[in-house]
Chains A and B, each alone.
Chain A
């Protein structure tokens, strides 16, 4: 619970904390799974690890409905524009989780055809290391995203710094 005043039957806190609380516990993930990290994600969504415990069971397959882009797996250079397109189709506020070594840095695929980390085409909020990461690691990544979501200032997305960040990716 965020800081605030509470008494019998009421709780008062600031608006952005309430919104943060609501957002962080109902993140709709958009899985962009291209390889083995995607299989780990399937385990993460399954009953055993159960991402639903963190309010993220509603996996959306339309970027327009989703808050969190989870890129899991090797992104070839030819796939780069597709990832960017999907990111552009998401509405603000949006977050990106790079799962696994390939999405984070190209991983073992240090070769002419593979994008050396999706942060070359879209801004990334949290990186999950591993090849592939275990479901626990993916959950840890989602929890860190929740942390960011919950603490984010309502003004961040209209700030100069954020605009400059998007500008550096060629996004208006």
Chain B
């Protein structure tokens, strides 16, 4: 019977200090490793005769801007179909050099998922056969799910921010000036007070 303690024990035996941050939220084991050994860990989890995590449910990105040096993360969701056990495995990279080895060699599904993660977070998967945008328009020149970019479309020109409950002189989210919209952090007192 494969349980979280046993998986944790196997991983620490194999990788020692290189795997860390073990956590069991809602009974699901998650852990973290150096980004350099992500493929070694995935291969071990795949090949080991007892672990047999041979199905990748999901691969996604996360962005924690305050986590200096480890801003961008990749989360692998793995599933052992025989024992019906799931785990989460995370690696983190510096936002200025978000290079992470691709998992496409091990899981074909990673091809699509890594393109999506690249599309939204700009994580550069080294060795990916076709790393280009998949969901957003090709002309997009930024990575929209990184936290420094506001959710709202910055190209809009004909929406009155005050009518939409954000920005204007009331002050939520973005604000429109004569030069276009500006984001919350660049905001200053412009326009007439209306309240």
Q: Which A residues contact B (CB, under 8 angstroms)?
A: 77-78, 80, 105-106, 110-114, 116-117
**Which residues of chain B from 115 to 171 have a CB within 8 Å of any chain A CB?**
135-137, 140, 144, 149, 151-159, 164
Cross-chain contact of B164 among A77, A80, A110 (Cβ < 8 A):
A110
Cα–Cα distance between A21 and B76 once the two chains are bound (Å): 64
Number of chain B interface residues as a range:
10 to 19
Cβ contact within 8 Å between B149 and A112: yes
Set of chain B residues within 8 Å of A80, measured between Cβ atoms: 137
Cβ contact within 8 Å between A105 and B159: yes
Cβ contact within 8 Å between B153 and A112: yes
Cα–Cα distance between A80 and B155 once the two chains are bound (Å): 14
Cα–Cα distance between A117 and B159 once the two chains are bound (Å): 10
Cα–Cα distance between A117 and B158 once the two chains are bound (Å): 9
Cβ contact within 8 Å between B151 and A116: no
Given that A106-B153, A111-B153 are contacting pairs, would A116 and B158 also be in contact in the complex, using a CB cutoff of 8 Å? yes
Expressed in whole angstroms, the minimum distance between the Cβ of A108 and any Cβ of chain B is 9
Cβ contact within 8 Å between B153 and A114: yes
Residue of A nearest to B164 (CB): A110
Expressed in whole angstroms, the minimum distance between the Cβ of B131 and any Cβ of chain A is 18
Cross-chain contact of B158 among A105, A111, A114 (Cβ < 8 A):
A105
Residue of B nearest to A113 (CB): B136
Cα–Cα distance between A112 and B135 once the two chains are bound (Å): 12
